[in-house]
Amino acid sequence: MAITKLEQLFELLKSKSRKRLVAAFANDAHTIEAVYAAVEKGIIDATLTGDEANIRKICQEHGMDAAKFEIVNEPNELKAAALAVQLINDGKAALLMKGSLSTDKYMRAILNKEKGLCNEGAVLSHVTIMEIPGFPRLLTLADVAIIPAPDLKQKIKMIDYIVKTAKAIGVEKPKVACIAATEQMLPAMQACVDGAILAKMSDRGQISGCIVDGPLSLDCAIDQESVDIKKVAGPVAANADCLLFPNIESGNVFFKAGTKLSGGELAAYVAGARVPCVLTSRGDSALTKTYSIALAALMA
């Protein structure tokens, strides 16, 4: 049975072995608070790389026991990120998390050809699970942060990632909506063309383990009244578990509208590397980061 609240991630993890997370340049209170909360819940063990003196100061100021962490001192953010990746490559951790360094520096460490976390030809994509007040189920979506304008091959990989994530939270056969500005097949719109191709691939079993339909407008993907009015047929219409966005702009706007205007909450990670990588905004709350840790631990 699928979970319907992000807090239920913690229950799912109780039956799994505890993994070790390494946080790259964990020099901010939000990151440390999130990791501490996850450690206290018993879902991970944790290593922090960064300025040890600053980390211990933050722990003291916020009433956290620094002994709960393994702290590896490296005050330089680029070196701290590289060190975190190296710990994973050495088998000393099973998931990575971004601390207070910028996303481009974090991704640079992951993508390093010689010492990073990616196999040749890997496609990285940002996967998000959103909990929106009043909506009856969790929505799994991609991509809001990494791939600007995914091509068809990248969309196939993105579907694989969001389907695996949806299955991890209990959705037996995820329904995937390929989002476009319209549910009509308009050849001039690439999102419509790709959506139709992906839907046919799903029909033929070339994309398995899920049901893919498209193109679908957002309202037709999640709202029964819109489906009834527009007379859209199909098992995904109004029932989508997963949303595949055609570009980063549409995904990012949905993501931020859902959190900033609708009071939604989320968990997110980067899929496609050798281990799940937590990638949240430096402005995200400690709770969002804790949920994201839990999701990455579930996928590890």
Q: Classify residue 268: in a domain, yes or no.
A: no
The verdict on 245 and 143 lying in the same domain is: yes
- Are 110 and 139 within one domain? no
* 267 inside domain: no
146 shares a domain with 61 = no
Do 150 and 233 belong together in one domain? yes
Cβ–Cβ under 8 Å, residues 221 and 158:
no
Measure the CA–CA gap between 255 and 127, rounded to whole angstroms.
Answer: 11
Q: How many domains does the chain have?
A: 2
Question: Does residue 29 sit in helix, strand or coil?
Answer: helix
- pLDDT by residue (tens digit) across 144-173? 999 999 999 999 999 999 999 999 999 999
Q: Is residue 196 domain-shared with residue 211, that is, in the same domain?
A: yes
- Distance separating alpha carbons of residues 47 and 131, to the nearest angstrom: 29
Asked whether the predicted pLDDT for residue 284 surpasses 90, the reply is no
Q: Which domain holds residue 117?
A: 6-121+273-299
Residue 182 and residue 168 share a domain: yes
Amino acid at 39: V
Tens of pLDDT, residue by residue over 107-133, are 999 999 999 999 988 999 999 999 999
Residues 139 and 250 in one domain: yes
The per-residue pLDDT for range 135-144, each reduced to its tens digit, is: 999 999 999 9
The upper half-sphere exposure of residue 116, i.e. CA atoms within 13 Å in the direction of its Cβ, equals 18
If asked whether residues 109 and 45 sit together in one domain, one would say yes
Sign of CA dihedral 258, 282, 96, 53: negative
Q: What is the pLDDT of residues 236-267, one digit of tens each?
A: 999 999 999 999 999 999 999 999 999 999 99
Contact 194, 247 (CB under 8 A): no
Answer yes or no: is pLDDT of 281 > 80. Answer: no
Q: Residue 117 to residues 78, 154, 278: CA-CA distances in angstroms?
A: 15, 19, 13
Please tell me whether residues 110 and 98 are part of one structural domain.
Answer: yes
- Judge if 44 and 109 occupy the same domain: yes
CB-count exposure of residue 42 (10 Å: 0-12, 13-18, 19+) = exposed
Same domain, 133 and 109: no
Contact 16, 298 (CB under 8 A): yes
**Listed residue (15, 243, 286) closest to 129, CA to CA:** 243
